[in-house]
């Protein structure tokens, strides 16, 4: 069953990630009609997204611990239920503070049950092609802006924002809850001697969280997300300030999304072929350089050229975190560790847009944002370059085997 059913897990995980991430990140589609209909400022509405990142990260840690103890269905079913409920309640919010709490905290907590637990579950099903499998699940999440966002746009164009968001919440229930029953815990027996030794290791969660390997992974994840979150959030505004029409500026996101879809698959194949760490460092350097190049873009074709490289790189490296956690820590605690790493990444995602806003308000320009992204991106690459895989104790009866990078 393992050799065949594992691809069902990948397909179901990609679908669930697309629906969940797409429903959460459809908020920018609602920004203008919500502000017009309610009188709430765009800054107040956008704050809900920042709270969402923080809540998603904190919740990922708790959901990951539940995954290790009870399995994926015990996480995905209540998490999907909370996500759909939060979206429906947010559509009924009577004040901006109420909306910020519901969308920021409840929706974020529900979303935290999807991304990290799915990644951790998929890594357990694969010993070969692990990078590709995780990248395919991530690719499902990556197509969300090109699938769920247009649907949300059609809904909000033909109905008020409350009805549109209520509909998305109901769709989350209808699509995610049945699919969650397809996700199963991976078989416990591994044929990989390194992973068998790791599984029998006495390492505790506390020891893993305080290990040098996890510190490097979490720090890299934080810096990586801090590198790309600012440019992702502010580049449309920067392009408009350069004279691009609004529609042309927004299309930069679509170009990044399409390039990111290819990047996830290509980086997954390269990681399986040349080693995760080596390809990871290359991708982080590419991300840093591309983010900096936005500072020199002024014409539409220049923005598109940078968006292709930037989207390809930042999306391509994201699945590697779960893979490295799986390769360096015992399988029984993988969910907790992937959740903890995701919490670090969410903090980086939350800080990037705020930092970009402060930089623009202070200097009246985004140039320092892109320079800062270059520095944090280089720091992420340097940190990952310093990563040294964990070395499980060797069994006397087996030859020395080094874990893959």
Beta strands in 278-394 (DSSP E): none
Q: How far apart are CA 180 and CA 322, in angstroms?
A: 20
Q: Which CATH fold would you assign to the domain 1-185?
A: Growth Hormone; Chain: A; (1.20.1250)
Give how far the C-alpha of residue 323 lies from the chain's centroid of Cα atoms, to the nearest Å.
14
Q: How far is CA 158 from CA 148, 164, 277, in A?
A: 16, 9, 48
The answer to whether 34 touches 96, Cβ cutoff 8 Å, is no
Beta strands in 238-360 (DSSP E): none
Which regions of the chain carry the CATH code 1.20.1250.20?
Answer: 1-185, 199-388
How close are the terminal C-alpha atoms of the chain, in Å? 28
CATH 3.30.360.10 correct for 199-388? no
- C-alpha–C-alpha distance, residues 243 and 238, integer Å: 9
DSSP class per residue in 229-288: HHHHHHHHHHHHHTT--HHHHHHHHHHHHHHHHHHHHHHHHHHHHH-HHHHHHHHHHHHH
Residue 183 near residue 12 (C-beta atoms within 8 A): yes
Give me 179's structure tokens. 């699919």
What is the pLDDT, as a whole number, of residue 323? 87
- What is the pLDDT, as a whole number, of residue 171? 96
130: tokens are 């692990």
pTM: 0.76
Tally of CB atoms within 10 A around 103:
27
Packing angle of the helix pair 212-241, 300-317 (nearest 10 deg): 160
Tens of pLDDT along the chain (405 residues)? 456 888 999 999 999 999 998 898 888 778 778 888 998 887 788 788 888 888 998 999 899 999 999 999 999 999 999 999 999 999 999 999 999 999 999 999 999 999 889 988 998 888 888 888 888 888 888 787 677 877 888 888 888 999 999 999 999 999 999 999 999 988 864 445 444 444 455 678 889 899 999 999 999 999 999 999 888 878 877 888 899 887 787 788 778 888 988 898 899 889 888 988 999 999 999 999 999 999 999 999 999 999 999 999 998 898 888 889 888 888 888 889 988 888 898 888 888 887 887 888 788 888 999 999 999 999 999 999 999 987 554 444 444 433 333
Q: Which stretches within 91-114 are classed as H helix?
A: 96-101, 108-111
Q: Report how far apart, in Å, the C-alpha atoms of 402 and of each of 212, 279, 327, 393 are.
A: 18, 18, 11, 11
Contacts of 194 (CB under 8 A, 6+ apart): 392, 401, 403
DSSP secondary structure, 264-279, as one string: HHHHHHHHHHH-HHHH
Q: Is 313 within 8 Å of 263 (Cβ atoms)?
A: yes
**160 Cβ contact list (under 8 Å, min separation 6):** 33, 37
In sequence order, which residues have a C-beta less than 8 Å from that of residue 403 and are 6 or more positions away? 194, 327, 328, 389, 390, 391, 392
Asked if 386 contacts 290 with a C-beta cutoff of 8 angstroms, the reply is no
Dist CA 22 CA 27 (whole Å) = 9
> Alpha-carbon distance 229 to 151, whole Å?
24
Cα dihedral 183/187/193/197 (nearest 10): 90
Give the model's pLDDT for residue 50: 83
Residue in the block written with tokens 């951790």: 120
For residues 181 and 76, give the distance between their C-alpha atoms in angstroms, rounded to a whole number.
Answer: 9
């Amino acid at each position: 069953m393992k050799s065949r059913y594992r691809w069902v897990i990948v397909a179901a995980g990609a679908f669930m990630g697309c629906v969940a991430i797409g429903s959460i990140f459809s908020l920018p589609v609602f920004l203008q009609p919500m502000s017009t209909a309610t009188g709430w400022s765009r800054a107040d509405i956008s704050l809900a997204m920042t709270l969402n990142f923080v809540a998603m990260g904190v919740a990922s840690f708790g959901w990951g611990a539940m995954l290790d103890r009870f399995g994926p269905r015990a996480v995905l079913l209540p998490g999907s239920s909370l996500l759909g409920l939060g979206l429906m309640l947010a559509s009924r919010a009577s004040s901006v503070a109420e909306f910020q709490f519901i969308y920021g905290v409840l929706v974020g907590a529900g979303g935290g049950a999807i991304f990290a637990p799915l990644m951790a579950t998929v890594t357990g099903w694969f010993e070969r092609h692990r990078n590709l499998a995780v990248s395919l699940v991530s690719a499902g999440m990556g197509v969300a802006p090109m699938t769920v966002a247009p649907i949300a746009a059609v809904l909000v164009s033909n109905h008020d924002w409350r009805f549109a968001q209520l509909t998305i919440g109901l769709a989350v229930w209808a699509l995610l809850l049945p699919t969650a029953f397809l996700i199963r815990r991976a078989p416990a027996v591994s044929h990989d001697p390194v992973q068998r030794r790791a599984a029998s290791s006495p390492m505790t969660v506390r020891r893993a969280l305080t290990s040098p390997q996890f510190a490097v992974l979490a720090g890299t994840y934080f810096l990586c997300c801090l590198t790309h979150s600012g440019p992702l959030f502010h580049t449309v505004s920067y392009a408009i300030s350069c004279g691009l029409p609004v529609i042309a500026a927004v299309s930069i996101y679509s170009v990044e999304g399409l390039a990111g879809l290819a990047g996830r698959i290509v980086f997954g194949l390269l990681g399986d072929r040349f080693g995760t760490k080596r390809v990871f460092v290359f991708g982080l350097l590419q991300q840093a350089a591309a983010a900096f190049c936005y500072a020199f873009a002024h014409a539409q074709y220049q923005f598109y050229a940078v968006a292709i490289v930037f989207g390809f790189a930042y999306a391509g490296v994201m699945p590697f975190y779960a893979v490295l956690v799986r390769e360096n820590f015992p399988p029984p605690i993988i969910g907790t560790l992937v959740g903890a790493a995701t919490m670090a990444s969410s903090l980086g995602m939350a800080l990037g847009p705020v930092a970009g806003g402060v930089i623009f308000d202070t200097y009246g320009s985004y140039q320092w944002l892109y320079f800062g992204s270059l520095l944090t991106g280089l720091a992420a690459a340097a940190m990952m370059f310093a990563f040294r895989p964990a070395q499980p104790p060797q069994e006397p009866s087996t030859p020395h085997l080094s874990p893959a990078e």
